[in-house]
Copies of this chain bind each other. A is one copy, B any other.
Amino acid sequence: MKCFRMTNQREVILEEIAKYKGHPTADLLYERVRKKLPRISLATVYRNLEILSKAGKIRKLEISGRQKRFDRELEEHNHICCVQCHRIDNIHIAPEQMLASGSEQKTGYKIFGWRVEFFGICPECQEKNAANAKKQKGAVRLNERQLKVLTALKTCGKPCTGRDIAAVTSLEPPQVRCQLSALKKKGLAVSPARCKYKITKAGKIACECKENECDG
């Protein structure tokens, strides 16, 4: 993620997602946004949906079907899909209650079945990760803020300023500057120009390593 600018186009896209009671597809949003911004490009809609979902402003749904759908609701929830008209609604039930018939009354749907997809790390990858972790014992310790800043630096790739990082991490610029110099000391970031910081190879490794720890 780079410096994030809330442009007019992005504001309108966000508005339309928020307004639409459901889970719009990119082309449906394009049609709606076009009424307010007739000169907007379909590519802009796609690009911004991607950027907004990476920035955590919206959620990209990974559901079956050809087209991707987007959701203004950020908290974790599941979906229910009408097999006849193909509309998709949110369903807020705990997995324990899935089988309880009560859930049917809640949504008004007549439920036929469900499909569960689990996510995890397969045995082979777990082994690989363990081996990698072993290689670099004495791994760097990062606090939460440092990890945030480092992750932002990594996703950015290019050199960026403390202000840039602040914009995407929900941290204050002074906090960011403080962490940046700490990261520089540890060799995880370098400053190729005044006020510009860039992640190092070591920084990337440290970052990926943290990502894979996953013992939450």
Contact = CB atoms under 8 A, between A and B. Distances in A.
A91 B114 contact: no
A192 interface: no
Number of copies: 2
Interface in A165-212: 212
How many residues of A sit at the interface, in one of the four size bands?
A: 35 or more
Interface string A124-156: 111001000000000000000000000000000
A96 interface: yes
Given A63-B64, A64-B63, A99-B95, A118 B122 contact: no
A99 B125 CA distance: 22
Contact of A118 (B81, B108, B117): B81
Nearest to A104: B120
A115 B111 contact: no
A123 interface: yes
A98 interface: yes
Contacts of A28: none
Contact of A82 (B65, B96, B120, B212): B120
A109 B122 contact: yes
A85 B125 contact: yes
A116 B87 contact: no
B82 A121 contact: yes
A202 B212 CA distance: 60
- In the A-B complex, the 5 residue pairs with the smallest Cβ-Cβ separation, listed nearest first, are A108-B123, A62-B64, A82-B122, A109-B120, A80-B118
8 contacts: A63-B115, A81-B120, A91-B118, A95-B95, A95-B98, A95-B114, A109-B123, A115-B119
